Chains A and B, each alone.
Chain A
Amino acid sequence: MSQQASRDAYWKANLRVMAICLAIWFFVSFGLGILLVDVLDRFQLFGYPLGFWFAQQGSIYTFLILIFYYAWYMNRLDREHDVHEQ
């Protein structure tokens, strides 16, 4: 594979994982925390109404997991496509 083709493949793979992460980011914060909050509030997570928990706690934990996952995934991808820093 030429260097250019490898870099194109790297960029495509990056955009794909980015799109997945951003979809989760959007779904959890705007979807569960705002748009679906009234539906989810019918369920309880211990003393929290579920929608309220996603809005004030769960979304923030999800953001954290997403960032660390993306960093881990990209470090692997960098090596696979030989574009990592030496």
Chain B
Amino acid sequence: MELQTLTYVVVGATFALYIGIAIWSRAHSTGDFYVAGKGVHPIANGMATAADWMSAASFISMAGLIAFLGYDGTVYLMGWTGGYVLLALLLAPYLRKYGKFTVPSFIGDRYYSQAARIVAVICLIFISFTYVAGQMRGVGIVFSRFLEVDILTGLLVGMSIVFIYAVLGGMKGITYTQVAQYCVLIFAYTVPAIFISIQLTGNAVPQLGLGSTVAGESTWLLQKLDLVMLDLGFGAYTDGSKAMIDVFCITLALMVGTAGLPHVIVRFFTVPRVVDARRSAGWALLFIAVLYTTAPAVGAMAKLNLLETIWPGGPEAEAMTYDERPDWFRTWENTGLLQFEDRNGDGLIQYYNDANPDYAPIADARGWQGNELHVDRDIIVLANPEIANLPNWVIALVAAGGIAAALSTAAGLLLVISSSISHDLVKSVFAPRLSDKGELLTGRIAAAVAICIAGYLGYNPPGFVAQVVAFAFGLAAASLFPAIIMGIFSTRINREGAIAGMLTGLLFTFGYILWFKGVFFEPIMADVPENWLFGISPEGIGVVGMLLNFAVAFTVSHLTAPPPAHIRELIEDIRVPRGAAEAHAH
């Protein structure tokens, strides 16, 4: 079958599966809609969390990022996995014991304050919308790239699918579709990785292949990659170029941000018991780790493959001639992900680091007039099956996997937005006498409106979509995470302290990012290391915001009255597991 038809068939089949699951798992109550009736098995919840967590960016862009960053790509690998340790140890069991539906409702109850609840809702909406805009963009791009429809059509199809299962099924529908989406995306990710690992190293396990010798040679794969990179004027793959303090802060901000992201936290409200919440975080990380430990292998191997294609005789010999380029090169040139410009007019593709002044004399001596190939990092995953000569059904599967990754994350984000609006704003603040049915309807309307806004943001992305990571993670790390942690581990932090802390963390982090990134206006200062506070980039500044939040909350709390007795009882109660199931029956 032709690739195009095959892709439609595979993607269509996965859509039919998602919709079927949505109809089977319709929500009947707010409990179903917000937290899937708290009846999700911990392993199923682990898979759903993994799909929720791994976005279009993880699936399509991460291996490419690592391929071009080398060691510096570590910030994403550790940053986006280490947060699960914090979740499992510091948050998940206690929030599950607390037993209500949303993150703002915990903050509102623990700090006995509607103001705290509203501040938390604002943080949540801001974090989730910035994140979801990027996801909808991802949906549109995947559709347009694989199915050759324009971005708007792709977006509309994606929105309708999410609409069906998020609005109908709520958390229950989302959970079981995410389980299916995890299976699709992990299969689509690992199959090409296994093949490329066998081709390059003879080892079928990519994680081991990355530490093996190149097939038929005695050099280690990473050693060879380092040598080729150095020969072309790049830094060694296994060395970094970022300052250590910045690597440290970005990693920590991503970890803490992960643990503070509402759509991840809320997944641990859906399991039956506290014991399950602890285990479920482990299952989630296990399923995530399958992709996250494969990604560095995909990145390094695809990079070596690419360099060897362009420099068939090694960097000392001549580069590949443009006329003899392989088929996949032509395909991806059409999409603009590969761009060749013959600067010195010799018909050869010279790909090297023309920004390295030490390398310039060598390039001059060989008659090169600048780097001639622009490689988009997304190509590392997207073109992998073609570079490795895999059959068409694998390529179709990668398309379905990319779409699954984007849809599952978008749906999870839209759900936390809608539940915080219907539960924490409408029900708690504006209409406390709303019936369960009325609240369920409000939740569905809020989800529908949120999907439309997200679709709009995906089609007309505000300038800051590229900085989504810095925004969403930094803000989560600086606002929600400290408020929740202090709510569990301190009996002294009170309403005044928590609100002051959240606002300080939020405003500081927001301000710092705006200062260097602009977003709505020209940046006030150039985004270069010389200007940064303590050498910390906007991506890592959430760590400072978090420390400020803790410090302000602590100081203000000790200057004002301690929390009332019933709050101390609430804290004592969430610290022990017994009674979680009763709260469930209630």
Residue ID in chain A nearest B77 by CB atoms: A56
Q: Which A residues, 1 to 51, have Cβ-Cβ distances below 8 Å to chain B?
A: 7, 10-11, 14, 18, 21-22, 25, 29-30, 33-35, 37, 41, 45-49
A46 in contact with B220 given A7-B572, A35-B244, A67-B281 (CB within 8 Å): yes
Give the chain A neighbours of B211 by CB distance below 8 A: 45-48, 53
Give the chain A neighbours of B66 by CB distance below 8 A: 56
A64 in contact with B289 given A22-B85, A78-B577 (CB within 8 Å): yes
Give the chain B neighbours of A74 by CB distance below 8 A: 93, 278
Binds A, one of B114-122, B246-254, B428-436: B246-254
Q: How long is the Cα–Cα vector from A14 to B275 in the complex, in angstroms?
A: 14
Partner of A63, one of B85, B223, B275: B85
A57 in contact with B578 given A30-B248, A30-B252, A75-B275 (CB within 8 Å): no
A52 in contact with B89 given A29-B82, A34-B244, A85-B581 (CB within 8 Å): no
Is the beta-carbon distance between B88 and A71 smaller than 8 angstroms?
A: yes
B375 to chain A, nearest CB (A): 21
Q: How long is the Cα–Cα vector from A83 to B73 in the complex, in angstroms?
A: 43
**Chain A binding surface SS class:** helix
Q: How long is the Cα–Cα vector from A22 to B240 in the complex, in angstroms?
A: 26
A33 in contact with B78 given A46-B211, A52-B222 (CB within 8 Å): yes
Q: Which B residues, 264 to 321, have Cβ-Cβ distances below 8 Å to chain A?
A: 273-275, 278-279, 281-282, 285-286, 289, 292-293, 296
Q: How long is the Cα–Cα vector from A43 to B211 in the complex, in angstroms?
A: 13
Give the chain B neighbours of A30 by CB distance below 8 A: 248, 251-252
Partner of A41, one of B238, B274, B281, B293: B238
Give the chain B neighbours of A86 by CB distance below 8 A: 578, 581
A63 in contact with B285 given A47-B213, A53-B211, A84-B577 (CB within 8 Å): yes
Please, what's the 1-or-0 string for B218-250, where 1 marks a CB less than 8 Å from any CB in chain A? 001111000000000000001010001001100
Q: How long is the Cα–Cα vector from A56 to B222 in the complex, in angstroms?
A: 13
Residue ID in chain A nearest B238 by CB atoms: A52
Is the beta-carbon distance between B577 and A63 smaller than 8 angstroms?
A: no
Is the beta-carbon distance between B85 and A25 smaller than 8 angstroms?
A: yes
Residue ID in chain A nearest B93 by CB atoms: A74
Residue ID in chain B nearest A17 by CB atoms: B89
Q: How long is the Cα–Cα vector from A21 to B78 in the complex, in angstroms?
A: 16
Give the chain B neighbours of A7 by CB distance below 8 A: 572, 575-576
Give the chain B neighbours of A45 by CB distance below 8 A: 211
A26 to chain B, nearest CB (A): 9
B279 to chain A, nearest CB (A): 5
Is the beta-carbon distance between B293 and A60 smaller than 8 angstroms?
A: yes
Q: How long is the Cα–Cα vector from A56 to B71 in the complex, in angstroms?
A: 8
Is the beta-carbon distance between A57 and B207 smaller than 8 angstroms?
A: yes
A23 to chain B, nearest CB (A): 11
Is the beta-carbon distance between A33 and B74 smaller than 8 angstroms?
A: yes
B75 to chain A, nearest CB (A): 9
Q: Which A residues, 66 to 86, have Cβ-Cβ distances below 8 Å to chain B?
A: 66-68, 70-71, 74-75, 78, 83-86
Say whether B210 faces chain A, with CB atoms less than 8 Å apart.
yes
Give the chain B neighbours of A52 by CB distance below 8 A: 71, 222, 238
B462 to chain A, nearest CB (A): 33
B501 to chain A, nearest CB (A): 21
Give the chain B neighbours of A60 by CB distance below 8 A: 77-78, 81, 285, 289, 292-293
A55 in contact with B577 given A60-B292, A64-B282 (CB within 8 Å): no
Q: How long is the Cα–Cα vector from A78 to B251 in the complex, in angstroms?
A: 33
Most buried by A among B208, B210, B223, B252: B210
Q: How long is the Cα–Cα vector from A48 to B274 in the complex, in angstroms?
A: 39
B281 to chain A, nearest CB (A): 6
Is the beta-carbon distance between B213 and A67 smaller than 8 angstroms?
A: no
B293 to chain A, nearest CB (A): 6
Residue ID in chain B nearest A78 by CB atoms: B577
A74 to chain B, nearest CB (A): 6
Partner of A34, one of B85, B251, B279: B251
A86 to chain B, nearest CB (A): 7
Is the beta-carbon distance between A49 and B238 smaller than 8 angstroms?
A: yes
Residue ID in chain B nearest A77 by CB atoms: B577
Say whether B339 faces chain A, with CB atoms less than 8 Å apart.
no
A77 to chain B, nearest CB (A): 10
Give the chain A neighbours of B251 by CB distance below 8 A: 29-30, 34
Q: How long is the Cα–Cα vector from A63 to B81 in the complex, in angstroms?
A: 8
Q: How long is the Cα–Cα vector from A22 to B84 in the complex, in angstroms?
A: 12
Give the chain B neighbours of A35 by CB distance below 8 A: 244, 248
Give the chain B neighbours of A46 by CB distance below 8 A: 208, 211-212, 220
B288 to chain A, nearest CB (A): 9
Q: How long is the Cα–Cα vector from A57 to B294 in the complex, in angstroms?
A: 9
Is the beta-carbon distance between A85 and B580 smaller than 8 angstroms?
A: yes
Give the chain B neighbours of A55 by CB distance below 8 A: 71, 74, 77-78
Give the chain B neighbours of A84 by CB distance below 8 A: 275, 577-578
Q: How long is the Cα–Cα vector from A30 to B251 in the complex, in angstroms?
A: 8
Q: How long is the Cα–Cα vector from A33 to B85 in the complex, in angstroms?
A: 16
A27 to chain B, nearest CB (A): 12
Is the beta-carbon distance between A70 and B89 smaller than 8 angstroms?
A: yes
A64 in contact with B222 given A34-B248, A59-B82 (CB within 8 Å): no
Partner of A85, one of B90, B248, B578: B578
Residue ID in chain A nearest B226 by CB atoms: A49
Residue ID in chain A nearest B224 by CB atoms: A47
Is the beta-carbon distance between B577 and A83 smaller than 8 angstroms?
A: yes
Give the chain A neighbours of B293 by CB distance below 8 A: 56-57, 60-61
Please, could you name 10 A-B residue pairs with CB atoms under 8 Å apart, sorted by A? A45-B211, A46-B220, A47-B221, A55-B71, A60-B78, A60-B293, A63-B81, A63-B289, A71-B279, A84-B577
Q: A49-B222, A56-B73, A78-B275 are in contact. List 5 more A-B contacts (CB 8 A).
A: A30-B248, A48-B210, A56-B77, A59-B78, A85-B580
